[in-house]
């Protein structure tokens, strides 16, 4: 992962900008939906390439979790007129 320029860019991105996107890594070696690893890499999810048949289910779940996780954050921004 050290040579992955996209991951390096994500990890140095300003928090507010990063929270406005959903980032999923497709990897032949990492475990699907390893939430702790994904979080440590500034990702929303990891999908092992062998699980691409289930990508729709995984993405629907990932999107739902992301919306739920950031719901309060977005409410506060809206209340402060910062959205």
pLDDT per residue over 2-38, tens digit each?
A: 678 888 888 788 777 777 789 999 999 999 989 999 9
Taking 80 as the threshold, does the pLDDT of residue 47 lie above it? yes
Q: Give, for 16, the enclosing helix (H) or strand (E).
A: helix 15-18
Closest alpha carbon to 37 in 28, 29, 45: 45
First-to-final CA distance of the chain: 33
Contact, 51 vs 45, CB < 8 A? no
pTM of the predicted protein model: 0.77
Residue that wins the pLDDT comparison between 59 and 2: 59
Determine the Cα–Cα distance for residues 30 and 23; give it in Å rounded to an integer: 15
Identify which of 72, 70, 67, 11 has the alpha carbon closest to the alpha carbon of residue 25.
11
Q: Does the pLDDT of residue 78 top 70, yes or no?
A: yes
What pLDDT, on the 0 to 100 scale, is given for residue 10?
A: 80
């Amino acid at each position: 992962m050290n040579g992955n320029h996209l991951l390096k860019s994500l990890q140095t991105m300003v928090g507010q900008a990063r929270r406005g996107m959903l980032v999923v890594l497709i990897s032949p070696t990492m475990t699907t939906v390893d939430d702790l690893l994904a979080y440590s890499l500034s990702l929303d999810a990891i999908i092992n390439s062998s699980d691409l048949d289930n990508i729709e289910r995984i993405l629907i779940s990932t999107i739902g979790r992301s919306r739920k996780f950031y719901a309060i954050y977005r409410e506060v921004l809206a209340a402060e007129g910062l959205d």
